[in-house]
Amino acid sequence: ETGVTQSPTHLIKTRGQQVTLRCSSQSGHNTVSWYQQALGQGPQFIFQYYREEENGRGNFPPRFSGLQFPNYSSELNVNALELDDSALYLCASSTARGASTDTQYFGPGTRLTVL
């Protein structure tokens, strides 16, 4: 176990709704990255937070937004849900500012279904 927790485990929403997903990073980790994993695909980078600031963003529209709190936990918010947003959402924590060189410790994920 990595010590990274996510809630909720599963979520069902309808198109147009908004959703908030939560992540608690592993103790001592100050960086959180969020990924979207569609069925049969690899994780796709959404964005990264380092010490409460967005450190980088992937090719996702602005309706995907996030927050990181002083205790380094994080939220992913998605507005105006679309059917294609159905996926497993993974958060990963790490100790360094920069996911490309640091081990990513993934949480169990939140399975989002948009109807």
Partner 1 sequence: GQQVMQIPQYQHVQEGEDFTTYCNSSTTLSNIQWYKQRPGGHPVFLIQLVKSGEVKKQKRLTFQFGEAKKNSSLHITATQTTDVGTYFCAGPGGGSNYKLTFGKGTLLTVNP
Residues lying near partner 1 in the complex (CB under 8 A) are found at 2, 33, 35, 40-45, 48, 55-56, 58, 90, 92, 97-101, 103-109
Min separation Cβ 26 and partner 1, Å:
12
CA dist list (Å): 88 to 5, 8, 15, 74, 94: 14, 11, 17, 16, 20
Q: Which is nearer to partner 1, 75 or 105 (CB)?
A: 105
Q: Is the peptide bond before 61 cis (omega within 30 degrees of 0)?
A: no
Q: Which is nearer to partner 1, 31 or 85 (CB)?
A: 31
Q: Exposure of 34 by Cβ count < 10 A (0-12 exposed, 13-18 middle, 19+ buried)? A: buried
Q: What is the C-alpha separation between 44 and 82, in angstroms, rounded? A: 17
Min separation Cβ 15 and partner 1, Å:
26
Q: Which is nearer to partner 1, 24 or 104 (CB)?
A: 104
Min separation Cβ 4 and partner 1, Å:
9
